[in-house]
Amino acid sequence: MRIGWADLVRGILVWTGLTTAVAVPVAAAAASPLLAWREPIYIAAGFTGVIALALLLFQPLLAGGYLPGLPALKGQRVHRLVGGVLVAAVILHVAGLWVTSPPDVIDALLFRSPTPFSFWGVVAMWAVFASALMAASRRRWRRHPHAWRLGHTVLAAVIVVGSVVHALLIEGTMETKSKAILCGLLIAATIMAVAKMRGWTIRARRDS
pLDDT tens-place values along the chain, 208 residues long: 456 777 788 889 999 999 999 999 999 999 988 887 788 999 999 999 999 999 999 999 998 888 988 877 788 889 999 999 999 999 999 999 999 999 999 999 999 999 999 999 999 999 999 999 999 988 888 888 888 988 999 999 999 999 999 999 998 889 999 999 999 999 999 999 888 776 655 555 555 5
Q: Which fold has domain 5-207?
A: Four Helix Bundle (Hemerythrin (Met), subunit A) (1.20.120)
Tell me the residue ranges of DSSP E strands in 131-202. none
Measured from the Cβ of residue 87, the count of other Cβ atoms closer than 10 Å reads 18
- Give CA–CA dist 187/14, Å, rounded: 17
CA atoms within 13 A on the CB side of 176: 2
> What's residue 191's pLDDT?
94
Tell me how far CA of residue 169 lies from CA of 84, 117, 121, 166, 187, in angstroms.
Answer: 26, 6, 10, 5, 16
**Domain limits of the chain?**
5-207
The pair phi, psi for residue 142, each rounded to 5°, is -60, -35
pTM beyond cutoff 0.85: yes
> What's residue 21's pLDDT?
94
pLDDT tens-digit map of 107-138: 999 999 999 999 999 999 999 999 999 999 88
